[in-house]
Amino acid sequence: MTLTVSFTINGAPVSTAVHPETVLADVIRDEFQLVGCKVGCDQAVCGACTVLVDRIPMAACSTFAFEAEGRDIVTIEGLARPDGTLSAVQRAFLDVQGFQCGFCTGGLILLVTALLERDPDPDRATITDWLGSAVCRCTGYLAIIEAVETAARLNREVAA
Amino acid sequence: MTSSEPPPLVALRGRQRIAPFALVRVGDTAAAAEAALAGAVPMGGGVDLVDRMKFGERIERLMPLSGLALGGVEATEGGLRIGATTTYAALAESAEAARLAPAFARLVGGVANPRIRMKGTVGGSVMSQKPNFDVWPALMALGADLVFADGDGEARLPAAALAPDERRLLLAVEVPAGADARFAFDRSLRPIVSVFAGREAATGALRLAVGCAHQRPLLLRLAAGETDVAAAAAAALPPPKSDGLASSTYRRRMVGVLAARLARILPGPDAAS
Amino acid sequence: MSLLLPSNRIHPALPSHPEPPQQGGHAKVTGAARYAFDAALPGMLHAKVLRSPHPHARIRGIDTAKAAALPGVVAIVTGADARALALPTYGFTIQDQPVIAIDKVRHVGEAVVAVAARDERTALAALALVDVDYDPLPALPDPAAALAPGAPLLFEEPQPGFALPVGAGSTSRKEPAPNVLYEYTYTRGGVDAALDRADHVFTDSFAFSAINHYHLEPHVNVARFEDGRLELWSSNQDPFMLRADLSRIFGMPDTDIRVHTPLIGGGFGGKSYCKMEPLVALIAQKARRPVRLALTLDESILTLTKHAAELTLTTAVGADGRLLARRADIVLDGGAYCDASVMVALKTGFRIAGAYHWDALDVRSRVVRTTKVPAGSFRGFGGTQASYASECQMDMIAHRLGIDPYDLRVMNFLGPDEPFAPGDSAIDSDLKGGLDEVCTRLGYRAPKKAGHGFGLAVGIKDGGGTGNHAGAIVKVSQSGRITVLAATAEIGQGAGTTLCSIAADVLGLDAADARYGAIDTDVTPLNNGTHVSCGTVVTGSAVAEAAASVREEILAFAAEQLQCAPADLALEGWAVRRNGALHPLEPMVRGYYGGQGFAFTAYGHVKVPYDDGAPLRSQNLFWMPCWTGAEVSVDRETGRVTVHRLVVGSDAGRIISRRACEGQVAGAAIQAYGQAMFESLRYTPALQPENATPWTYRVAQAADLPEHFEVFVTEHMRGPGPGGLKGIGEAGMLSIAAAIGNAIEDATGVRVNAMPFSPEAVLAALDAADPA
Ligand SMILES: Cc1cc2nc3c(=O)[nH]c(=O)nc-3n(C[C@H](O)[C@H](O)[C@H](O)COP(=O)(O)OP(=O)(O)OC[C@H]3O[C@@H](n4cnc5c(N)ncnc54)[C@H](O)[C@@H]3O)c2cc1C
Ligand code: FES
Ligand code: FES
């Protein structure tokens, strides 16, 4: 059995045929070649596969493709402006080196993007709570927390 | 090997193991209720369901509940009614919940992580009956009811009476008015054990729901005036599991310790004990 | 080529370095970074592996007929195919691990049947149709069981390989007793006499736990056999070691094997040494198509762990607290197969001396085979096990003698310039200086909050490996842009950034324009692998040498063009200065070589010499300290430990990127912290892994961090690398658990000597001390 799902991905409207059991991560990686969406744990734990679905961070490894019907999906490849300008969160991760191997980074950047859209000035407890949506085995999280705080500041500077 | 029994594919869990299924789309709650009784498996957020399917569990017919009018948090005569498809996040952010069940809302707003809380539903959490999930034991301690679709109407069940093989569609859960003010929990020893406590308004008895320690969460009831809550709770507890995280003995003792701590902070006739 | 020796001098301080631009950083934040996980070839098949459900069993038969008949299945590989290989086994110096199980399985999760099919789904469906007939054998849950008289044997026959040669005072023996894989000993001075004479002798035992690497990118390989050549895209961090192993296993010339190493999504040792790569190659050979095998994280968890260990230390101490002699009996649980166990045993034995002066040592370190997941390399291996036991015992001794644990350490520290062991290199960090910094940051002298305890620990390990060598190529294009080629894999440690910075420093060119080339064994110069934090020092020295040669080449060229002597010229940016006049190089190069331009190219190669006078047969290149301080409190009713503060420091010799150095220390420290507090791979009594899924195998997340966590990195300027540099990647792992254990004892008076410090273990220790 296949079904057709339609959604927008990084701004582009698309339609694609999927099986009900196909998960979003496979569609994003295999069909749209957006391989910045990584699959680490394949169990909704590590957040490497996080994408934004209607600006909500979701584990693409554990979300069925059919759930994307009619929704707006953003992957890490869709975050920078078309001219290549990085988003504040990307900029912050780059500036403070909020990554090492980088396998968790795309998912984390999308997660933090969603956090700052909801809470532009999160306190430590909020940041820690949100980072619970991800695992980074490399950094020990210090640099990531710094990246979140830096991104919040960059956003404020732009707004000011 | 029978098809219902997943083959022992050691460590081969994952999205490629999700067996093909038919997608059941329904237009309204009544149709969903009917389909559920006919064997369609409801999907709330799918967090638990997808995880199980990745281990090889077969679901023949899957019925997403999104799009049905099953969400929402509202004040009712009896207390607070929470629709089954309400996400953890929606519940935690709801003004009604903040007003009528602030402690429960705080619990729900702090479990798992925001990514899961924006997807996982209250109904799914309860109906999964998983030992480590928090909502169901919390509802037991609150003395809440589960509201199921039943024929043309609704059927209510005390949370603690949920049967392992319940097939009906859960419509909502209802937290009785005032219960939240006599509710507290301790998750600090998760995933070894967690304890949720509620004081019955009428009797002063202590309801203790225990998570993580058995195959399913379970409820104990200690009569009002119990002076040694720790000993009584530990004694009343069916044998907890032993695993690499902790022994049965330790779990039993900790249920006592946490229960006594919760009893001390809960208002009630024997609050001083 | 030049010999690389431990540094015996203090380098002059250099002007502080701006943060160098991160190689590949932009790609990582935009999703453009490509990992082995993303490698794909046209016509590629997907493989999946059926794994043993038994800890120990004989394979009576395998029926693959039904699986083979499934449409989409292309090849099925079993032990019968492996047996036909030139060498069907692998392992570092002892080759006991079959490419795929042959006749027997020795741990849950061992590969038994592999299927290549058009997609993973089909491969999985095929595996479900395979029938394996097992005859279960008794399991060996731990070293005690494996060493018991009459215990069943994991191997009936000696396995291929040899005992790694060692140096002065050391012995090395392969398979010296039933179920014992390897034994290392080290002796100096007369321990018996010292124990007899000493005022105090303390014997204590410690248990160290097994953890998994949990690198977020599970092991993944794509292999292709074409035109008689084997080509591999691998997440393995040791391309040349892999090439050598594959060459032995397939009986192919090494030059017919080509390994590509894309970015690696974390490793921590879990992707070093040969693993399933030969299996993927074997499947590709049989299928005659390219094959990808991506493990699940669950499978990665059943592939390798850190070594669990029992360490018994008998330590003689003078009345004044001077350490005199130590006897150590170390038993490492090697799991089913060798992997890197030989190295781990040797390093644990060597490192058990810690950062202190001794008159006599007598160390025995054995690896015992059990029917568990093989243990192998894990960040700082040997050092973590040794530091844990040694640094816990330091506090126990201090308390027994009524000496402050700080004073006991400082009194016994090896001073800078004192050799770690006779014949070995000298300590190249100021150990006391680092510990003092921890104490200041921790507030060690300030009054403690009620119920709180402080713990200190100082770990040290050798770095740079034994007799390692590395080559590097540095190219400078006509526009003055650098390309560095070296085989140190980029695994998150910032290898490319560091190596490019070193080249740019030597050449006075912009590091932002430097590129770290892709690793391809056909073109990249050889090195020993991405190990023992040697990337910056060993490979970095080769890069510096190559860069210096390129510089000569550039100046010689310019001198010829300007008709002067090279000595008259100075390189300044992408120009040469002669008598005050600046001559841009680009037009000069184009003028001579034409429009395509040119690349000045040079090769550098360094080798750490062997030295039989040193215990490990080569003087250690540098020393990596880890200074740790912890403040904890303990819930006396539940045994739950809260870490309020954790301070961790190390010495990078010289810092190229402070952020990268601090990140390495922080990352390692939190791995060790997780292990100390809750993380471990657990087994049921029937030896089934109990928590081998990503969710149940709990690793530290942000919310688990200590309330206050800080790291610092010092520059003691004594390293052997360019400008005093040394490696730092493994340091932060060393002394975390001991510091926390010591703080628990300080807070409660009880010692918990098995990890993790679970609430139950702590409560049991409290109960034992105070039987109510
Ligand atoms: C990383 C991670 C951490 C987590 N941590 C926690 C935690 O700390 N505490 C905690 O409580 N949970 C935790 N969870 C679990 C998560 O909260 C649950 O998986 C989630 O709440 C389940 O909700 P769902 O809507 O996704 O359920 P689903 O997966 O949709 O459904 C679960 C089960 O309930 C059935 N079902 C769903 N809705 C209905 C209905 N209306 N009527 C009848 N049957 C129904 C389904 O058929 C299925 O059998 C965690 C999960 C993850 C992945
Ligand atoms: S891969 Fe989806 S959460 Fe880890
Ligand atoms: S940077 Fe490697 S997992 Fe986060």
Assess whether pLDDT exceeds 80 at residue B271: no
CA of A40 to the centre of ligand 1 (A): 21
Clarify whether residues A149 and A109 are in a common domain.
yes
B60: its two tokens: 């023949």
Mutation to probe ligand 2, out of A35, A53, A61, A105 (largest number of atoms < 8 A from CB): A61
CA of B47 to the centre of ligand 1 (A): 5
Interface contact flag, C31 A36, Cβ < 8 Å: yes
Q: Which CATH fold would you assign to the domain C305-465+613-769? A: Aldehyde Oxidoreductase; domain 4 (3.30.365)
CA–CA min distance C125, chain A (Å): 15
Mean pLDDT computed over every residue of chain B: 94
3-state SS, one letter per residue, for C539-602? HHHHHHHHHHHHHHHHHHHHHHHHCCCHHHCEECCCEEEECCEEEEHHHHHHHHHCCCCCEEEE
Report which of residues C82 and C17 the model is more confident about: C82
CB pairs under 8 A between A and B: 75
CA of A101 to the centre of ligand 3 (A): 5
In this structure, which CATH number among 3.90.1150.10, 3.30.43.10, 3.90.1170.50, 3.40.390.30 belongs to the domain C36-138+213-301?
A: 3.90.1170.50
C404: its two tokens: 């402050």
Query: What is the band of C534 on the pLDDT scale with cuts at 50, 70, 90?
Result: low
Confidence at residue B7, expressed as pLDDT on a 0 to 100 scale: 45
Partner residue opposite B115 with nearest CB, options A1, A39, A111: A111
The arithmetic mean of pLDDT across residues C133-149, rounded, is 97
Task: Determine the residue of chain C that is closest to A129 in CA distance.
Answer: C703
pLDDT in tens, A137-158: 999 999 999 999 999 999 998 8
Task: Determine the residue of chain C that is closest to A92 in CA distance.
Answer: C29
Indicate the burial class of C447 (C-beta count within 10 angstroms; 0-12, 13-18, 19 or more). exposed
pLDDT in tens, B121-176: 999 999 999 999 999 999 999 999 999 999 889 999 999 999 999 999 999 999 99
The verdict on residue A107 lying in a domain is yes
Clarify whether residues A92 and A153 are in a common domain.
yes
The arithmetic mean of pLDDT across residues B91-102, rounded, is 97
pLDDT in tens, A95-113: 999 999 999 999 999 999 9
* List of chain C residues whose C-beta atoms are within 8 Å of the C-beta of residue A138: 266, 492, 663, 667
Residue C110 contacts residue C51 (beta carbons within 8 Å): yes
Closest CA to C414 of C376, C474, C497, C358: C358
CATH number assigned to the domain comprising residue A100: 1.10.150.120
CATH number assigned to the domain comprising residue A68: 3.10.20.30
The verdict on residue A15 lying in a domain is yes
**Would the CB of B175 count as within 6 Å of ligand 1?**
no
Mutation to probe ligand 3, out of A136, A145, A148 (largest number of atoms < 8 A from CB): A136
CA of C47 to the centre of ligand 3 (A): 26
Enclosing domain of residue A45: 3-78
Clarify whether residues A72 and A95 are in a common domain.
no
ipTM of this complex prediction, to 2 decimal places: 0.98
Assess whether pLDDT exceeds 70 at residue C272: yes
Q: What is the DSSP string of A96-125?
A: HT--SS-TTHHHHHHHHHHHHHH-SS--HH
Strands B61-64, B41-43: pairing is: parallel
> What are the residue ranges of helices labelled H in C565-717?
585-593, 658-677
Clarify whether residues A63 and A102 are in a common domain.
no
Task: Determine the residue of chain A that is closest to B45 in CA distance.
Answer: A63
Assess whether pLDDT exceeds 80 at residue B62: yes
Phi–psi pair at B209, nearest 5 degrees? -100, 135
> What are the residue ranges of helices labelled H in C678-748?
736-748
Q: How far apart are the first and last CA of chain C?
A: 69
Interface contact flag, A21 B119, Cβ < 8 Å: no
A24: its two tokens: 């979003």
Interface contact flag, C109 B14, Cβ < 8 Å: no
Query: What is the band of C16 on the pLDDT scale with cuts at 50, 70, 90?
Result: low
CA of C325 to the centre of ligand 3 (A): 42
The verdict on residue A132 lying in a domain is yes
Interface contact flag, A58 B116, Cβ < 8 Å: no
Best residue of C22, C30, C675, C736 to probe chain A, by most A CBs closer than 10 Å: C30
Confidence at residue B35, expressed as pLDDT on a 0 to 100 scale: 98
CA angle B22, B23, B28 (to 5 degrees): 140
Clarify whether residues A144 and A124 are in a common domain.
yes
Query: What is the band of B29 on the pLDDT scale with cuts at 50, 70, 90?
Result: very high
The atom of ligand 1 lying closest to the CA of B134 is 11
Which architecture, in CATH terms, is C468-607? Answer: 2-Layer Sandwich (3.30)
Task: Determine the residue of chain C that is closest to B260 in CA distance.
Answer: C637
Query: What is the band of B6 on the pLDDT scale with cuts at 50, 70, 90?
Result: very low
Q: What percent of chain C has pLDDT over 70?
A: 99
Assess whether pLDDT exceeds 50 at residue B5: no
Clarify whether residues A64 and A127 are in a common domain.
no
CA–CA min distance A70, chain B (Å): 12
pLDDT in tens, C17-28: 778 888 899 999
Q: Using the 3D structure, point to which of A54, A78, A102 is the last residue of a domain.
A: A78
Assess whether pLDDT exceeds 70 at residue C756: yes
Angle between helices A88-96 and A142-159 (to 10 degrees): 140
Q: Using the 3D structure, point to which of A78, A111, A126 is the last residue of a domain.
A: A78
CA–CA min distance B54, chain A (Å): 8
Q: What residues does C332 pair with on adjacent strands?
A: C309, C367
Cα–Cα distance measured from residue B87 to residue B200, given in angstroms and rounded to the nearest whole number: 27
**Would the CB of A52 count as within 6 Å of ligand 2?**
no
Confidence at residue C772, expressed as pLDDT on a 0 to 100 scale: 63
Clarify whether residues A72 and A20 are in a common domain.
yes
Cα–Cα distance measured from residue C526 to residue C242, given in angstroms and rounded to the nearest whole number: 12
pLDDT in tens, C582-619: 999 999 999 999 988 999 999 999 999 999 999 999 99
The verdict on residue A54 lying in a domain is yes
Q: Where in chain C is the domain with CATH 3.30.365.10?
A: 305-465+613-769, 468-607
The verdict on residue A83 lying in a domain is no
pLDDT in tens, C501-529: 999 999 999 999 999 999 999 999 998 87
Report which of residues C342 and C9 the model is more confident about: C342
- The count of structural domains within chain A is 2
Assess whether pLDDT exceeds 60 at residue C412: yes
The arithmetic mean of pLDDT across residues B77-97, rounded, is 97
CA–CA min distance C214, chain B (Å): 14
Assess whether pLDDT exceeds 50 at residue B1: no
The atom of ligand 1 lying closest to the CA of B117 is 17
Cα–Cα distance measured from residue C370 to residue C383, given in angstroms and rounded to the nearest whole number: 22
Clarify whether residues A56 and A98 are in a common domain.
no
Please tell me whether residue C383 adopts helix, strand or coil conformation.
helix
